[in-house]
Amino acid sequence: MSHYLAAAIQMAAASDKAANLERAERLIRLAAARGASLVGLPETFNWRGKRSEEAAAAEPLTGESLGAMSRLARELGLHIAAGSITEHAPGQSRRYNTSVLIGPDGAQLAVYRKIHLFDVDLPGRVTVKESEVKLAGAEVVSARTPRGTIGFSVCYDLRFPELYRRLAFAGAEILTVPSCFTFPTGEAHWDALLRARAIENQAYVIAPAQFGTNVHGFTDYGNSMIVDPWGRVIARASDQEGVVLAPIDLEYLLRVRREVPALSHVRLRRDLG
């Protein structure tokens, strides 16, 4: 399917998992009613809470949250890029930050565990050390689907262009970036980085995000968006919960790649696999 609508969902998830899942379902249903056939959820869409509660909130891939998304994908006939969940890692004291693609039959088509962990100290503004509670993934993941080949990333991965170039070399036409970008870094870099990843890889970028004051006491930037392969922002969320939609046109993507064949001109490719 070379032409269809995609949706990016913007949420303000908190520590009530049932409420988060109810909110996600409502917004997915809204996206489907508006014609979307690929829907992206933000990072940690199902639960955001205190670190002391994270172990109890973590789930396996067969758990409640992804089970609910699988049933919904099957009912509505959607591909759902299920943002990320905190995935329980058997025998480990830390957990993975995991994004899963679910197909219209409810099956899990791809599992990506966030590679780059957000350890940042902005004095007087925000301090986050994700590696204290999370394990880093190691696998670059993409999936061929009738909606195009989709490449996966999560939030802080956005700052590492080599990941996206590997995805492009693997055939990715759509890049997903579910996020909880903090306001200071989001205001400075979110737009520029998303547009850069779209331009340099000549791919669509779907970036669903959390927004507003979160349970940790700092502000998430929001501005969920979809960017086209020419680097144009073709959908952007306002400062509230909701859904933004934009057309995905894979014929247009091929035209961009044909007219500016930068990917075929790459010289320093060997180290990127």
**Closest by alpha carbon to 8, among 210, 168, 152?**
210
What the block records as the tokens of 127 is 């301090």
Question: Catalytic site residue 43?
Answer: yes
Best CA proximity match to 16, nearest among 43, 69, 53? 53
Cβ neighbours of residue 227 under 8 Å, at least 6 residues apart? Answer: 194, 195, 197, 198, 204, 205, 207, 233, 234
Q: Which of 59, 87, 130, 155 is catalytic?
A: 155
Residue that the structure tokens 């009613």 belong to:
33
Q: Is 32 helix (H, G, I), strand (E, B) or coil?
A: helix
Strand partners, 102: 80, 108
Judge contact between 247 and 264, C-beta under 8 A: no
- SS3 of 102-147: ECCCCCEEEEEECCCCCEEEECCCEEEEHHHCEECCCCCCEEEECC
Any alpha helices (H) in 190-244, and if so which ranges? 191-201
Catalytic residue among 17, 59, 87, 114: 114
155 catalytic? Reply is yes
Can you tell me whether residue 264 is helix, strand or coil? helix
For residue 80, the surrounding DSSP H or E stretch is strand 79-87
**Rounded CA gap, 216 and 235, in Å?**
28
Active site residues: 43, 114, 155
